[in-house]
Amino acid sequence: MQKHGRSACTSVLVGKEASINGSVMIARNEDCKTAWPKKLAFYKKNSQPDQFKSKDNDFFLELPDESYAFNATPEWTDKYGVFLEDGFNEKKVAMSATESAYANSRVLGLDPFDEEHGILEEAMVSVVLPYVKTAKEGVKRLGKIVTNHGAAEANGILFADPKEAWYMEIGSGHHYVAMRIPDDSYAVVANQLSIQEIEFKSKDFITSPGLAKFIEDNKLWPKGKKVNWREIFGTHDDQDLHYNTPRVWVGQKILNPSIEQNPQSFDLPFIRQAEKPISADDVQTILGNHYENTPYDLVSKSGKASFRPIGIATTQESHVLEVSDKNLVHWLAMGVASQSVYIPFFPQGATTPIMFERGTDKYDPESAYWIFKAAGVLVDRSWKKYQPLLRKTQTATKIELAKIRRHYEQLGANDDQALADRANSELAQTAIDKYRDLISELISAQTADSPLMYRVDPDL
């Protein structure tokens, strides 16, 4: 689909009654390449163009005259598309797009993707987030685009506002379903079409026009039996067993440790209720997971390493979008989540911290992406030896960032753009300084790791 490869992400959605503080959370790792920088950007009200023309295919859309202010994380280059991916708008709507997925040949033979003209991941935030007032409006706007223009690929799209979270899946050229996440529940998604039974008459579901008729006319499901989206549109193959279902399994294992499940089960539920209230830290732990404390840990010498982990070297950025009536937090970690740190940015700002504007696909010590990436590369030389230094820095940084965030919240940064900009600058600089110190410490320590080391005779 995309000329530089499809995203291979992992997503988490949390309802407001399931969270520790009453917030709604949507979160995702954006995975593509090991050296493919992201940036942080803020867009002013009514700053969007009149039209959107994709650079990845021939998708074209006329846009409304008025647009809301919003923030996002664009690619370092728009050569293959803008890929804004995630952010908030001024109406407190959060969007994350997309969780790439796969549909089966049976449905695609009936309603194929329009790869030349249909909407792709790279366009979705650009043509939806600046124009909606609620999460549900976001679902409806994107759904209308898919109906009128077609889709070029299978995707999962996350929406949230202070009241609710919605998860939308595109399963063929013109068919989709969206489900409101129950307030007391969560979902973990990993590159599969995951929504299960559809309640067509429920206000908690939105479907493409004619979906029920499409299924019935083409005999895709037994008549009279409750329609199961995942079974009809999704895949059940070896790639799922090694690449996808184990990530859902470990995410659910973190939030429901007492439940025994098979990591290669096709029957893992889409919706679960956690055993305890879920914090942003819990979601971040899921996004950085590489099967720690299981037989499948990717960095353990004794691990089987047979399953694709959630936290992986190809992560460009990881985000948790946390929203409530009084507070918005754009938690953003550049690079690999388990080796980086989540900075709690105020999306109400208008100015990007300068190092978050920089970065190409070549190492740049003045780019925020590359600072966090460089630390991870150095730790990778000996994970066991240098992980304690990384963990120490992460803990110290998180504490400092929490103090700064709390200070500016008390000053009123949630309602003051200038204060939000000051806060974001200080948050960014604090994290970068801590990681620069870590890089210095790692390089100094690794001078002793040279293969040219030789035990010198003390008498010489």
Catalytic residue annotation: 9
Helices (H) and strands (E) in the chain, counts: 11, 16
Beta bridge partners of 279: none
Residue located via tokens 């806060």: 423
Buried b (16+ CB within 10 A) or exposed e, 356-392: bebbeeeebeebbbbbbbbbbbbbeeeeeebeebbee
CA distance 211 to 217: 10
Q: CA dist 128 to 64, 93, 121, 373, 446, Å?
A: 10, 11, 12, 30, 47
Phi, psi dihedrals of residue 458, rounded to the nearest 5°? -65, -15
Beta bridge partners of 228: 197
Neighbours of 52 (CB within 10 A): 16
Neighbours of 35 (CB within 10 A): 18
Q: Is the peptide bond before 98 cis (omega within 30 degrees of 0)?
A: yes
Q: CA dist 139 to 12, 95, 111, 182, 356, Å?
A: 17, 10, 21, 16, 29
- Confirm if 161 and 93 have CB atoms less than 8 A apart: yes
CA distance 339 to 381: 13
Phi, psi dihedrals of residue 9, rounded to the nearest 5°? -100, 175
Residue located via tokens 């803008």: 82
- Confirm if 74 and 55 have CB atoms less than 8 A apart: no
